Structure 1
Amino acid sequence: MTENNGYADEATETSPLLVNAQSSSIIDNEAQISHLRETIELSDIADESPYEEVTANVSNQDNPMLPCLTFRSCVLGLLFTCILAFVNQFFTYRTIPIFLSMIVAQLLSYPMGKAMASVLPRRTHVLFGGRWQFSLNPGPFSVKEHCIISIMANAASGTSMAIQVITIQRVFYKHTVGYVISLLFVLSSQTLGYGMAGIMRKFVVRPAAMIWPGNLPTCALFRVLHDDENEERQNNETNVTTTSRRMSRVHFFYMVFFFQFLWYWIPGYICPVLSLFSLLCCIDPTNIVLSQVTGANGLGLGSFELDWNAWISFLDSPIVVPFWAQLNILLGFVILVWIITPAAYYTNLWNSKAMPIVSNQVFTIEGYLYNVSAVLDSNLRLNETAYNIYGQPRITAIFAFNYAIGFAGTTCILVHTCLNEGKDIFNRFRSSISDVVDDIHGTLMAQYPEAPEWWYAS
């Protein structure tokens, strides 16, 4: 094994040339570096996405020579994978869950990656007679390393619904499932989703129409952090001074991040009442009907909140969700919560007045909490005799309508998709057989090898 001091591949960020360790003088020559940066636009394709939101946030250029799977990306990726998986699963049981999205890992990994690029030794280890090279610090922290870290963190940020089955059995039914069975159950449910996504990627990923708005802020943040940095680096190397007073995207981002950090302490700790405040409820706190309709534990009519975490806990960020989708959500909320629910409750539909107006609990016909253990035997099977004596479980009117809309919505989605998108889906299926790509980003990714289909099918 031999060692080469210095960045053996420092020019890989901007050039496909393999720079030998003995030719380090080329790297030191700023004029030659600038020339290399101008001539290696490997994928400078003029085509753009037909959708403006994609064009504004996603780059249409790619440099295959940038390092991706490195020591830095593996260490930081595994670190944030463990942190996000633990924190999100631990806090998912809160009434208002705390969720750390991939954006957290994306923000924190950037300065950590830059720090590792400055601190780690700059040696290139040549193994097996030069057939394989390895370096703890292959060069400047690249956007592809940043992407692979964020992808690893995103894969672990979502909580598994299968864990709720295991925890419910342990907490409510006093039945403990073995760790091996629990692990296999959770992994099988998670890999099933990844497998289906991989098999259907020709239909739900590759077409240009498959925008997935939730990914656009992530792509925009990558460009903010790395494009401005590359532009500033090129200006410094060519001694170009910018006289414009226009604020850069990264400076604007840090400014918003700073003010958001300061504001969080006000509704979070200093004045928690701002998290959810009802002016109408304060008019007559002893009025039960007014509290049910306007209170925080009721329908919340006329309430307002200034806590960003409360906004995005259930409906995702309003910055990400398209405006037409927000209007659909708002309209459905008004009809269900502010019209149908009070009408059903105050007309005592299904004996609704015996239960709270809003609750996710299960009740008896008298309005008491339903003891599920009272109708089960020692083997956790239904005891029909005890069930007939204890009575049927009941849920609140709002949750009954919510479940009904959920079941009806599934059928509506299938019918709507077949009627409105069926022809396009059929055409996509035909084009997928011939591997026709209609997206600039799909064209850029076509130069990389695809994962075999059997990986997803298995």
Structure 2
Amino acid sequence: MAGGATAPVIMVSYANDLKQNENAPSEPLVTVDDKIAQVSTASGDERGVPLSSENEDTKFLKGHPVLETGLEVSKYLISARDDGDPAFTFRCIVLGTAFTALSSVITMLYTFKPVQMQVSATFLQLMIFIFGEAWARITPRPDKIKVKWLRGTLRILNFGQPFGIKEHVVASQIASSGNNGLSGIEVYAIERLFYDRSISASTAVLATFSISLKAPISTRSVFKKVFGGASSNEGMGLLNFTLDWQYIQSTYLSLPFKQQINTWAGYFIWYPVMLSLWYGNAWGAKTFPFMSASLFSANGTSFSTTSILTSDNVVDRAKLERVGLPYLTSSTVWGFFSQNLAIGALITHVLIFYGKDMILAWKQARARTQPDPHYQGMLKYKEVPMWWYFVLFGLAFIAGIIVTAKGETTLPVWGYIISLLLGGFIAPFSAILVGLFGNGIATNQISKMVAGAVHPGRPLANLYFASWSHQVILLAVGLANWLKIGQYTKVPHRVMFTTQIYGTLLGAALNYVVMTIIVTNERDVLLDPVGTNVWSGSSLQSMNSQAITWALAKDMYSLQGRYFIVPIGILIGLALPVIHWGVNRWSPRIRKWPINTPIIVFYSGASYFGITSFIWSSITVGVFSQLWLRRRMPHIYNKYNYLIGAALDGGSQIIIFVLSFAVMGASGKEHPFPKWWGNPSGNPDHCMSSSE
């Protein structure tokens, strides 16, 4: 699932390009027609060009546009200028490489946290901008050097030369691409934790390249489930507010308001469903923890993955009959079900509501007639030839063939090919949703379902199948996102293509190193079904649970299986947008509502494990930013909204980076803070003591 990084990137590159429209009225929120939106730099140099000769229905408040649509963002926040400055430089490669290291390490750390996050793209851009400007200002200028060879060397090193927008974007793309190979690294971590095996160095290299309170205990227990959420798998965090920005993040400062509304609708479905499943003892819920992504035995103890496998990591039916089928918590069943609902709804929703737009976009791309001025401004640059893509695909494909044929993945070559085809089918639907709503849904569940159907009894094959399949989707969405950013900032297509590959491979190598260190040093807590508020293996536990249970799909998800409702979710999901379409035809008023069924149903079960205390804080941030600040104080929102979010993201992530290694034990030795009321030895919400 890719985030909407486009807006923050553009805000950094063009933060000073937005100028107050002098011709706009100062009265609150009125419609202005026949005005030209002028884009200029802070110094007043008119290097920008008008994007339109009319403002249509754009609203202005005190001369500043109130941004309501993506078109208005493109018109008023993004300049169509192209300074012709160099994009691929020594400086951008060095800065991109350095910040890839920071981005990869922090993202890998969050893989083993109760909530998974990625480094803020805007924060990376701000840091690269600061270092790029310093490089330009404090290094000697070549034109003041008399020695010819030294002068030429300094020019190659970009000493004393202005730090351009295109350099900035390319360096930022390299740093942000460093997490494109994360999916493969997660598989290696699961192998180390749950299968007691470490893959060979050659397999890792080739596969990474290819994949890239004082009440009674009973009362406190209820309060913990409903209101707790500061610790992993504790509760639903209802009305729980946190000031910990590492979990809030700037996502809700940048996502379109229509996306946020659908997310909130999903959350309000999630609360009653979770409680109903638990207190209704659905699927034997009360035998297991309220929230956990782990597998359990029938008596509620942790289920050992290796207890039902042969030495080749294939299910041993004799062992399975002796040990018994694994169980899932009710929260996990609902999480899996809601993911399938969302996948089915995604396909139908896109076809019904955006099918005509897809056909039009395809025709315009083929004829190069897309009217977007940013697209037209890029026509002077050479496109990436298709043979570049074919060569890259060929190399990655061959690497994958070698891994499946020679590595101990238990995945046959034909299964590897099916995984790529499946990812290629789903990728366009995910890309469209991300492009329209700024964020997407998790689609890796369908990869595990198909893997379980074609490779029964092979959980490790399931993991590799899903990793390759889902990576196709992630890379397609990520590449499209960054190519659009390159279009907005006029970075040549070939530079964007090359640097993204470089950043992906560099980041994957660093991810692998950090994963190995953390899994080695924090193995016990990562295997704990509950975890702590510092470390948690919930994400990896969930991936492994899916792999094991789908490898046993005939026993667990068939018509006679315990969790038959899960695969049926896709069929139900396919029908939801049809119902939505029918309601729209019946009531034109509802047609104006920005309802998106895939997002609603996905978020109705997305938080089935981990920390939940951030939910209400995130909603508050979204309401403040998108509902109030954007509409009432556009002069502040347009200039500072994304930058403030990036500053908060960056500060919290740098602190987590330092604390993880210096205090929390990622480097091997823990140096905990003293215990006091604000840092209790037991439950951080003070709901239960450590012994309860």
TM-score (norm: length of structure 2): 0.44
Q: Of the candidates 137, 141, 149, which is equivalent to residue 118 of structure 1?
A: 137
Question: Where does residue 237 of structure 2 map in the other structure?
Answer: 300
Question: Judging changes above 3 Å, is the alpha-carbon distance between structure 1 residues 104 and 60 closer, same or farther for their aligned structure 2 residues?
Answer: same
After TM superposition, give the deviation of residue 104 of structure 1 in Å.
2.6
Distance 1:366 1:323 in 2: 45
Question: Judging changes above 3 Å, is the alpha-carbon distance between structure 1 residues 134 and 161 closer, same or farther for their aligned structure 2 residues?
Answer: closer
Q: Of the candidates 56, 73, 79, which is equivalent to residue 76 of structure 2?
A: 56
Question: Where does residue 296 of structure 2 map in the other structure?
Answer: 363
Question: Judging changes above 3 Å, is the alpha-carbon distance between structure 1 residues 91 and 344 closer, same or farther for their aligned structure 2 residues?
Answer: closer
User: Per-residue CA shift, 1:79-117, capped at 9, x if unaligned?
Assistant: 112221233224421223464222232122222222211
Question: Where does residue 156 of structure 1 map in the other structure?
Answer: 178
Question: Judging changes above 3 Å, is the alpha-carbon distance between structure 1 residues 105 and 39 closer, same or farther for their aligned structure 2 residues?
Answer: closer
Question: Judging changes above 3 Å, is the alpha-carbon distance between structure 1 residues 79 and 381 closer, same or farther for their aligned structure 2 residues?
Answer: same
Confirm whether residue 106 of structure 1 aligns to residue 125 of structure 2: yes
Question: Where does residue 456 of structure 1 map in the other structure?
Answer: 389
Distance 1:137 1:431 in 2: 42
Question: Where does residue 337 of structure 2 map in the other structure?
Answer: 404
Confirm whether residue 417 of structure 1 aligns to residue 439 of structure 2: no
Question: Judging changes above 3 Å, is the alpha-carbon distance between structure 1 residues 143 and 387 closer, same or farther for their aligned structure 2 residues?
Answer: same
User: Per-residue CA shift, 1:276-332, capped at 9, x if unaligned?
Assistant: xxxxx67666512232222221122232212221123xxx61011122211211211
Confirm whether residue 382 of structure 1 aligns to residue 315 of structure 2: yes
User: Per-residue CA shift, 1:105-131, capped at 9, x if unaligned?
Assistant: 21222222222112333227989xx9x
The AA in structure 1 aligned to 2:71 is Y
Q: Between Structure 1 and Structure 2, whose CA radius of gyration is higher?
A: 1
Question: Where does residue 455 of structure 2 map in the other structure?
Answer: none
Tell whether the 8 Å contact from 1:363 to 1:394 is kept in structure 2 after alignment.
yes
The AA in structure 1 aligned to 2:375 is G
Question: Judging changes above 3 Å, is the alpha-carbon distance between structure 1 residues 431 and 118 closer, same or farther for their aligned structure 2 residues?
Answer: closer
Distance 1:58 1:282 in 2: 56
Residue segments in structure 1 that go unaligned for 5+ positions in a row: 1-36, 191-280
Question: Where does residue 204 of structure 2 map in the other structure?
Answer: 182
Matches within 5 A, 1:316-331: 317-331=251-265
Tell whether the 8 Å contact from 1:74 to 1:149 is kept in structure 2 after alignment.
yes
User: Per-residue CA shift, 1:247-272, capped at 9, x if unaligned?
Assistant: xxxxxxxxxxxxxxxxxxxxxxxxxx
Distance 1:362 1:352 in 2: 13
Distance 2:49 2:179 in 1: 34
Tell whether the 8 Å contact from 1:76 to 1:149 is kept in structure 2 after alignment.
yes
Tell whether the 8 Å contact from 2:294 to 2:302 is kept in structure 1 after alignment.
yes
Distance 2:299 2:315 in 1: 21
Question: Where does residue 170 of structure 1 map in the other structure?
Answer: 192
The AA in structure 2 aligned to 1:299 is M
Tell whether the 8 Å contact from 1:67 to 1:138 is kept in structure 2 after alignment.
no
Tell whether the 8 Å contact from 2:138 to 2:160 is kept in structure 1 after alignment.
no
Distance 2:138 2:274 in 1: 60
Question: Where does residue 310 of structure 1 map in the other structure?
Answer: 247
Distance 1:45 1:152 in 2: 31
Distance 2:314 2:179 in 1: 35
SS at match of 1:352: helix
SS at match of 2:314: coil
Confirm whether residue 47 of structure 1 aligns to residue 52 of structure 2: yes
Tell whether the 8 Å contact from 1:162 to 1:189 is kept in structure 2 after alignment.
yes
Question: Judging changes above 3 Å, is the alpha-carbon distance between structure 1 residues 97 and 392 closer, same or farther for their aligned structure 2 residues?
Answer: same
Tell whether the 8 Å contact from 1:71 to 1:137 is kept in structure 2 after alignment.
no
Confirm whether residue 348 of structure 1 aligns to residue 281 of structure 2: yes
Distance 2:51 2:309 in 1: 67
Distance 1:126 1:432 in 2: 47
Question: Judging changes above 3 Å, is the alpha-carbon distance between structure 1 residues 99 and 428 closer, same or farther for their aligned structure 2 residues?
Answer: closer
Question: Judging changes above 3 Å, is the alpha-carbon distance between structure 1 residues 413 and 168 closer, same or farther for their aligned structure 2 residues?
Answer: same
Q: Which has the higher contact order (CA 8 A, sep 6+)?
A: 2
Question: Judging changes above 3 Å, is the alpha-carbon distance between structure 1 residues 350 and 302 closer, same or farther for their aligned structure 2 residues?
Answer: same
Distance 2:354 2:242 in 1: 38
The AA in structure 1 aligned to 2:83 is N
SS at match of 2:254: coil
User: Per-residue CA shift, 1:31-79, capped at 9, x if unaligned?
Assistant: xxxxxx99994x6354389711222321122211x23222222211211
Question: Where does residue 94 of structure 2 map in the other structure?
Answer: 75
Distance 1:58 1:182 in 2: 41
SS at match of 2:290: coil
Give the root-mean-square deviation of aligned CA atoms: 2.7
Matches within 5 A, 1:186-205: 186-190=208-212
After TM superposition, give the deviation of residue 439 of structure 1 in Å.
0.6
Tell whether the 8 Å contact from 2:49 to 2:79 is kept in structure 1 after alignment.
no
Tell whether the 8 Å contact from 1:45 to 1:61 is kept in structure 2 after alignment.
no
Residue segments in structure 2 that go unaligned for 5+ positions in a row: 1-42, 56-69, 394-692
Tell whether the 8 Å contact from 1:109 to 1:149 is kept in structure 2 after alignment.
yes
Question: Where does residue 501 of structure 2 map in the other structure?
Answer: none
The AA in structure 1 aligned to 2:186 is Q
Distance 2:74 2:353 in 1: 23
Tell whether the 8 Å contact from 1:362 to 1:394 is kept in structure 2 after alignment.
yes
Tell whether the 8 Å contact from 1:89 to 1:159 is kept in structure 2 after alignment.
no
Distance 2:334 2:44 in 1: 61
User: Per-residue CA shift, 1:384-443, capped at 9, x if unaligned?
Assistant: 111112111111112101111212211211111111111121122222221112111111
Distance 1:118 1:282 in 2: 60
SS at match of 2:353: helix
TM-score (norm: length of structure 1): 0.64
Question: Where does residue 146 of structure 1 map in the other structure?
Answer: 168
The AA in structure 2 aligned to 1:320 is S
After TM superposition, give the deviation of residue 373 of structure 1 in Å.
1.6
User: Per-residue CA shift, 1:160-181, capped at 9, x if unaligned?
Assistant: 1121111111222112211221
Confirm whether residue 334 of structure 1 aligns to residue 268 of structure 2: yes
Tell whether the 8 Å contact from 2:51 to 2:75 is kept in structure 1 after alignment.
no
Identity, % of aligned positions = 25
356-365 or 158-167, which deviates more: 158-167
Distance 1:352 1:286 in 2: 17
Tell whether the 8 Å contact from 1:122 to 1:137 is kept in structure 2 after alignment.
yes
Distance 1:433 1:352 in 2: 54
Distance 1:155 1:112 in 2: 19
Q: Of the candidates 318, 321, 328, which is equivalent to residue 395 of structure 1?
A: 328
